[in-house]
Structure 1
Amino acid sequence: MHLQPQVDNEVIQFRYTFTVFTPTYNRAHTLHRVYESLCAQTYQSFEWLIVNDGSTDHTEQLVQQWQQSAPFPIRYHRQENSGKHIAYNYAAKVALGEFVVNLDSDDACVPEALERFQDYWNQIPPAQRSKYSGIDCLCQDTEGKIIGDRFPQSPMDSHVAEIRYRLRISGEKWGMQRTDVLREFPFPDVQGRRLEMPESIVWTRLTRQYPARYVNDALRIYYTNGADQITRARWAEKDTRGFFLSNQTTLNYDLDYFWYAPRTFIKAAANCSRAGLHCGYPLRQQVNSLTSISARLLWLSLLPLGFVLWFRDTRQ
């Protein structure tokens, strides 16, 4: 039975099992990896949704060529350069698949990826599926080597905080999420050309309410391109609203895991005020954004360090 999502007061029937969603910005030279991966898929009930985040290269012309010859439907949307999080919200809103699979514009996946996702989902008893957000799996590099840590069990039902703090599992992971759940947990509608919005802002909250099933199957092929991470020297030049929200989310939702990873939460508290100062948020606004007394006390105790870090950033 297909679900019937409500979008803009109009009921839209899911037509496919999967919407493979690819946000892209000036990646015409790598986008072929996704296309070739999808052409090779052994499971065919999917669409490819490409959201062009204001590219200035020939992405649009390339997609138009593929739309003429692809053995699967391709939908294309262009937005002003607003960030992956805005593209993600759009994709969740218009997806015609029951599940969204985010495959970045510089990566690939194994031919059996969608088929295995479907098989793992079908292993969950039908009466229990409404409790889950989706399936998460491992990644491999271009040589077939597993990236990051394996899960201690496979399958294993858990959530992001448990995985990150208690089990201390790190490294690239990948997955599929229920479309209706993504609509329930959108990214903040905050836009900016230099804005970075960490995905933990959504996944931290989402998997607390809807746990995921984790499997030790490496289905995504991850290409290492020297990802642009924010560093001390770049704090002052970045739009840090996303980092403020990320650290705020950590303090508001994960603080019950403090004793598993105290250093992580100490850093989050200091970086919360650090990012807030870069954003120009008044201290009262910052502390009021924290929802528990424990989070506020931790933020307050690390406020001097946050000031020091902020001051040092502005002197770079």
Structure 2
Amino acid sequence: MMITVFTPTYNREQTLRRLYKSLKNQTVKNFEWIVVDDGSSDGTEKLIKEFIDEDEIPILYKRVKNGGKMRAINIGVSLAEKEFFFIVDSDDYLSEKAMETIEEEIVTLPDDYAGIVFRKVEVFDNGESVRKNETFGGAQIDSNPLDIFYNKKILGDKAEIVKTSIMREYPFPEIENEKFIPEGYIWNQIGENYIFRYIDKGIYYYQYLDDGYTRKFNEIIKNNPKGLKLYYQYMLRKKIPIKNKVKFLIRFFQSMYYDWKKEKEN
């Protein structure tokens, strides 16, 4: 086994069933599944223990006090025993050949690369895929996240499989009384020192939920101003298009305001 599939979860009992089904149906079982339960109040713990009892795939479950996805990822990295680390959110799932495809690509990856990146495919409730941002524009691209997004204009969510040793080099910041910082803060830093290989294959399926991070951005920036400020400060130092810098500058000042407001209230 060479891959740790890692899932941070919080009150996702219903969608976890779909993810588990996609994992146990993999054509290649070259992975372990680590689940960090971020203080769920639903039946998540009981459900995962049922999965463990089925003994279909290796599962490590750890329940922790609610601290947000980034802390959960750091915990997952510390527990991981495999060479590559693959974050799969609890409301998403994988194609049945995802692990087989990853294994095929990993064996050709140069030793000094950070990892491989696949396409995520957005789906509707009926299972049909949303055909947008569907291609990387080439079968294989060796690059980094900033170049991919801002120069090559390859937008949309991506599925990163990164060497566990490198994930340990770049832990997510843990800020007191905050629970979120964009994952791009870490992927972009890794990309400054390592190359990623982008593979134009969709292996990861997702859909935006009403209570997911993407739909709750205003609430997120109010509750996590220090983390967002750190991210926007970082992005403003990068060579990116001016329109993006203006956008980040506005959000930087937003995060500064909410940070000030939060400090004042406390």
TM over 0.5: yes
Structure 2: distance between partners of 1:199 and 1:175: 11
Show the counterpart of 2:153. Answer: 168
Contact 1:138–1:146 under 8 Å retained in 2: no
Q: 1:188 to 1:55 in 2, by over 3 A?
A: same
Contact 1:107–1:220 under 8 Å retained in 2: yes
Show the counterpart of 1:41. Answer: 26
Helix, strand or coil: the match of 2:250? helix
1:135 matches 2:119: no
Structure 2 counterpart of 1:118, one-letter code: E
Helix, strand or coil: the match of 2:86? strand
Deviation at 1:151, TM superposition (A): 1.1
Give 1:132-281 correspondences, 5 Å limit.
132-140=113-121, 141=123, 142-192=127-177, 195-226=179-210, 227-228=212-213, 229-230=215-216, 234=219, 237-252=222-237, 254=238, 256-257=239-240, 261-280=241-260
Q: In the TM superposition, what whole-angstrom CA distance separates every residue of 1:52-85 from its partner, at most 9, and x where no partner exists?
A: 0010001001111111113211101111111100
Structure 1: distance between partners of 2:56 and 2:221: 47
Q: Which one has more relative contact order, counting CA pairs under 8 Å at least 6 apart?
A: 2
Q: In the TM superposition, what whole-angstrom CA distance separates every residue of 1:122-151 from its partner, at most 9, and x where no partner exists?
A: 123xxx32x211111112223144442411
Equivalent pairs, count: 256
Helix, strand or coil: the match of 1:31? helix
- Give the ranges of 4+ consecutive aligned residues of structure 1 lying more than 3 Å apart after TM superposition: 144-147, 226-232, 234-237
Deviation at 1:191, TM superposition (A): 4.1
Gaps of 5+ in 1: 1-15, 282-316
Deviation at 1:45, TM superposition (A): 2.0
Contact 2:222–2:255 under 8 Å retained in 1: no
Helix, strand or coil: the match of 2:199? strand
Helix, strand or coil: the match of 1:51? strand
Contact 1:134–1:178 under 8 Å retained in 2: yes
| TM-score scaled by length of structure 1 | 0.76
Structure 2: distance between partners of 1:139 and 1:270: 29
Aligned alpha-carbon RMSD (Å): 2.0
Same amino acid, percent of matched pairs: 30
Contact 2:5–2:31 under 8 Å retained in 1: yes
Q: In the TM superposition, what whole-angstrom CA distance separates every residue of 1:24-53 from its partner, at most 9, and x where no partner exists?
A: 000001101111011111111211100000
Structure 1: distance between partners of 2:203 and 2:155: 17
Q: 1:236 to 1:264 in 2, by over 3 A?
A: closer
Gaps of 5+ in 2: 262-266
Structure 1: distance between partners of 2:228 and 2:172: 13
Structure of higher CA gyration radius: 1
Q: 1:146 to 1:113 in 2, by over 3 A?
A: farther
Structure 1 counterpart of 2:83, one-letter code: E
Structure 1: distance between partners of 2:47 and 2:66: 19
Q: In the TM superposition, what whole-angstrom CA distance separates every residue of 1:237-295 from its partner, at most 9, and x where no partner exists?
A: 4232221111012023x2x23xxx211111212322331232139xxxxxxxxxxxxxx
Q: 1:236 to 1:134 in 2, by over 3 A?
A: closer
Deviation at 1:216, TM superposition (A): 1.1
Q: 1:123 to 1:235 in 2, by over 3 A?
A: closer
Show the counterpart of 2:264. Answer: none
| TM-score scaled by length of structure 2 | 0.90
